């Protein structure tokens, strides 16, 4: 019913993913957008909007907050008030605004590496400090992880990077949930322990949940972290900022629309104050696409998830053959690969695979040199060709070592 096999030329529209290697024969499996066209219902809504010719200043459609509220309730059992929603033209912006709104200068924000790079950069960019509490690997390859609660407790007591004891105040936890790049949802137990930690240390939490509608296997339900906080104590809801949007699931990142859900009015005011005169509204087409995404795309999303499951399994099988340890993600379209042994032989493995015709994300950007992130949201024929190139390159390389 939906065509996930179509290989369409995204260079024609200057797609970032493809322009990075525009003049080379490299199949790009790096930045997290999908090589599938956006859902037909979004294309139709945008076509109608374009045909109408109204591209002036635009407010959010009046029914959009209600649509989202219903969706959060139905999918995640979370009661959201429409008044809590703050529209944004992007999520990374939301992370940076959360840092500004929750931490004074030099105060600290926690993140768990390996993680999507803006989590590691936002505190420093805003004149605050990052406290990295690395996730704890639970296998030797470092491709499966849990939260390191022991280390979390320790960093709250240790001197900070400037040697201050007690350390500068820690105000915020930047949570990536589901987690990019490790591809998992944190468990109920982890979320409960994390909520207790936030309560104990009076922390705000900014939970980026943009990947939550891409659960592949469905056995583990997504629990919005704000819900976990409220379940621990209703007052804790006031400490939360949740970031969400249609960019990843419906492949409309280029339209620039996201939102922050901020239950507490005072925190919302601080967040809006950080935005003032610096942040534009999402563009007129962005609202149109978001409305279509959450009202008319469920059959497409289900078909997408089936395709992503197939692709994930295809990638796992190929990486097995290549002898590269890897994650088996339960959510989203990113596989995390341990290429440290290869790195010892060839240098940066992302650069090496790029020379062999496949563009992967460099784990160093996520805080783990020697690892790779592979985006498998691509038509099967393209993915197959990329995997074959990787397999051939490794076989040839190993033959030279033998």
Ligand X SMILES: Cc1ncc(COP(=O)(O)O)c(C=O)c1O
Kindly list the residues in this chain that would bind ligand X in the complex (CB under 6 A). Answer: 32, 90-92, 116, 176, 180, 208, 210, 245, 247, 253, 258
Strands 170-176 and 108-111 come out as parallel
Compute φ and ψ for 13, nearest 5 degrees.
Answer: -115, 20
**CB of 85 vs ligand X, minimal distance in Å:** 15
**CB of 211 vs ligand X, minimal distance in Å:** 6
**CB of 181 vs ligand X, minimal distance in Å:** 8
Inter-residue contact 145 to 338 (CB < 8 Å): no
**CB of 209 vs ligand X, minimal distance in Å:** 8
Which strand (E) or helix (H) includes residue 85?
A: strand 85-88
Strands 85-88 and 258-261 come out as antiparallel
**CB of 335 vs ligand X, minimal distance in Å:** 14
Residue 176 vs 216, nearer CB to ligand X: 176
Angle at alpha carbon of residue 137, lines to 320 and 376, rounded to 5° = 40
User: Which candidate, 311, 325, 332, 316, places its Cα nearest to that of 382?
Assistant: 311
Residue 245 vs 370, nearer CB to ligand X: 245
Residue 100 vs 167, nearer CB to ligand X: 100
At residue 227, the 3 state secondary structure works out as helix
Residue 180 vs 335, nearer CB to ligand X: 180
Q: What is the spatial distance between Cα 372 and Cα 181, in angstroms, rounded to a whole number? A: 9
Residue 268 vs 373, nearer CB to ligand X: 373
Residue 311 vs 375, nearer CB to ligand X: 375
Inter-residue contact 241 to 80 (CB < 8 Å): no
What six digits make up the tokens of 94? 């939301």
**CB of 245 vs ligand X, minimal distance in Å:** 6
Residue 208 vs 338, nearer CB to ligand X: 208
Q: Which residue has the tokens 């509220």?
A: 69
Residue 167 vs 247, nearer CB to ligand X: 247
**CB of 375 vs ligand X, minimal distance in Å:** 9
**CB of 180 vs ligand X, minimal distance in Å:** 4
Residue 176: DSSP 8-state: E
Residue 252 vs 342, nearer CB to ligand X: 252
**CB of 216 vs ligand X, minimal distance in Å:** 16
Measured over the CA atoms of residue 213, residue 215, residue 221 and residue 226, the dihedral's sign is negative
Q: CA–CA distance from 136 to each of 23, 150, 195, 331 (Å)? A: 40, 10, 18, 19
**CB of 238 vs ligand X, minimal distance in Å:** 23
Residue 215: DSSP 8-state: B
Own/partner long-range contacts of 387-391 (Cβ < 8 Å, ≥24 apart): 387/314, 387/315, 387/318, 389/27, 389/356, 389/357, 389/358, 390/318, 390/322, 390/353, 390/356, 390/358, 391/318, 391/321, 391/322
Residue 258 vs 386, nearer CB to ligand X: 258
Angle at alpha carbon of residue 115, lines to 110 and 116, rounded to 5° = 110
């Amino acid at each position: 019913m939906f065509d996930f096999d179509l290989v369409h030329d995204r260079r024609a529209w200057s797609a970032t993913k493809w322009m990075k290697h525009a003049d080379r024969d490299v199949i790009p499996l790096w930045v997290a957008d999908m090589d599938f066209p956006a859902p037909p219902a979004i294309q139709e809504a945008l076509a109608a909007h374009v045909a109408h010719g109204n591209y002036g200043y635009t407010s959010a459609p009046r029914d959009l907050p209600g649509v989202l509220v219903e969706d959060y309730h139905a999918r995640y059992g979370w009661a959201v008030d429409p008044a809590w929603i703050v529209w944004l033209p992007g999520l990374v912006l939301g992370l940076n605004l959360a840092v500004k709104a929750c931490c004074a200068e030099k105060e600290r924000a926690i993140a768990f590496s390996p993680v999507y790079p803006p989590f590691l950069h936002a505190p420093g960019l805003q004149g605050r400090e990052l406290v990295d509490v690395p996730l704890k690997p639970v296998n030797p390859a470092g491709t499966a992880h849990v939260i390191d609660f022991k280390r979390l407790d320790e960093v709250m007591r240790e001197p900070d990077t400037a040697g201050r004891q007690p350390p500068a105040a820690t105000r915020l936890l930047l949570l990536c949930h589901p987690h990019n790049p490790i591809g998992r949802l944190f468990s109920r137990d982890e979320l409960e322990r994390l909520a207790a930690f936030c309560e104990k240390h009076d922390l705000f939490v900014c939970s980026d949940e943009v990947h939550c509608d891409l659960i592949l296997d469905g056995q583990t339900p997504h629990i919005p972290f704000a819900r976990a906080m409220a379940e621990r104590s209703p007052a804790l809801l006031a400490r939360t900022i949740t970031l969400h949007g249609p960019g990843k699931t419906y492949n409309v990142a280029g339209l620039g629309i996201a939102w922050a859900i901020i239950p507490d009015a005072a925190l919302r005011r601080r967040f809006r104050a950080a935005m003032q005169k610096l942040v534009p509204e999402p563009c007129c087409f962005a609202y149109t696409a978001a409305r279509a995404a959450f009202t008319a795309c469920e059959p497409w999303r289900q078909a997408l998830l089936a395709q992503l499951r197939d692709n994930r399994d295809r990638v796992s099988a190929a990486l097995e053959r290549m002898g590269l340890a890897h994650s088996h993600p339960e959510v989203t379209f990113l596989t995390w690969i341990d290429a440290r042994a290869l790195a010892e032989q060839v240098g940066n493995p992302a650069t090496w695979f790029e020379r062999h015709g496949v563009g992967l994300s460099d784990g160093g950007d996520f805080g783990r040199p020697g690892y790779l992130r592979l985006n498998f949201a691509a038509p099967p024929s393209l993915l197959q060709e990329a995997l074959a190139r990787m397999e051939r390159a490794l076989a040839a390389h190993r033959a030279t070592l033998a």
